[in-house]
Amino acid sequence: MTTTPLTHTPHDSGVPASARDFSVEGRVVVVTGAAQGIGRELARQFAAAGAVAVVADIDVDKADTVVKEIQDAGGVGLAVRVDVADESSVLAMVDTVIERWGRIDVLINNASIFATIEKAPFDQIPVAQWEQVLKVNVTGSYLCVRAVAPHMRAAGFGRIINVSSDAVTRGTANYLHYVTSKSALIGMTNSLARELGGHGITVNCVRPGMVATEVERDQPAEARARAAAQQCIPRGMVPTDLVGVMFFLATPASAFVTGQTIACDGGYTHSS
């Protein structure tokens, strides 16, 4: 499949949004860490809505499986191996997408180390593990933004969405490396929004709650039940609960929304 150039309403025009502005159809969407979990579902849903879903992941075999799911459902997808913590790997991934479709409209920085993290008191976390988590979760997102930004600037359009976590507001104990990394993404979002806003590029952050996925991790049923009971919407969260806010932030309709961190957690947290 080849994509045709999309026209963009000038981001500062104040022209009222049309119905098409709320569509992701035809958009080229890169989702990192999309071989499983939240990323997998986002890639599948974007493709189902008519976008080109780039399933970017270090596990290319699992990424191929996701693309097959997308294609079997009638969508368009491409699996690309990427190690987000490696600059040359990120640049190669972006080059592959640009060579295939000529542009990248949306980047969702979803890749992170999470399920394999061993919880420990902060002063017992091995320094090597601390550095690995920050390298993937923070530097990886930075490298991806750095690689796509020139193409978005040239197009005068771009949507960058960072994925944080409600662990930031919970202040989850024995999880300092993960919480610190996800906190950093919020600050990164704020600064990037300042630097890129003049180019028609918005940068926002989504902060999911406790999401149940197919990925096995230390998330006991009783802990999920306690979290759900404290939400305004008292049920467990699933990956599809993120789709609506992600779609909106990926479209032209969100052109005047940038530098924001949006909680999608069933009302577990409230912001002032």
Domain annotation covers residue 221: no
The CATH number given to whatever domain includes residue 133 is 3.40.50.720
Other C-beta atoms closer than 10 Å to the C-beta of 209 total 26
Would residue 269 count as lying in a domain? no
CA distance 195 to 244: 26
- Rounded to the nearest angstrom, the gap between the alpha carbon of residue 96 and the centroid of all alpha carbons in its chain is 19
What are the tokens at 76? 């368009």
Answer whether residue 76 is part of any domain. Answer: yes
The domain of 259 spans 25-213+239-263
Count how many domains the chain has: 1
- Residue 266: CB atoms within 10 Å: 21
Q: How far apart are CA 104 and CA 180, in angstroms?
A: 29
Collapse the DSSP code of 182 into the 3-class scheme (helix H, G, I; strand E, B; otherwise coil) and give the result. helix
> Cβ distance 33 to 80 under 8 Å?
no
Residue 14 Rama label (left phi>0; alpha psi -120 to 50; beta): left
Helices (H), 28-126: 37-48, 60-72, 87-101
pLDDT at 10: 52
Measured in whole angstroms, the distance separating CA 19 from the mean position of its chain's CA atoms is: 24
Pairing state of beta strands 76-81 and 201-208? Answer: unpaired
Burial of 37 (0-12, 13-18, 19+ CB in 10 A): buried
Let me know if residue 29 belongs to a domain: yes
Task: Please check whether residue 67 lies inside any domain of the structure.
Answer: yes
Rounded-to-integer distance, Cα 48 and Cα 37, Å? 17
CA–CA separation, 214 vs 157, rounded Å? 34
Q: Which residues of 133-169 are buried (b: 16+ CB within 10 A; e: fewer)?
A: bbbbbbbbbbbbbebbbebbeebebbbbbbbbbbbbb
- Domain for residue 218, yes or no? no
Report pLDDT for 4: 60
Catalytic positions:
178
The answer to the question of residue 154 being in a domain is yes
Task: Classify residue 198 by its DSSP letter.
Answer: G
Whether residue 233 is contained in a domain is answered as: no
pLDDT along the chain (272 residues), means of 10: 60 65 96 96 98 98 98 98 98 98 98 91 96 98 98 98 93 93 98 98 94 70 80 89 96 97 88 51
Amino acid residing at 180: T
Distance CA 165, CA 263 (A): 9
What one-character DSSP code corresponds to residue 173?
A: T
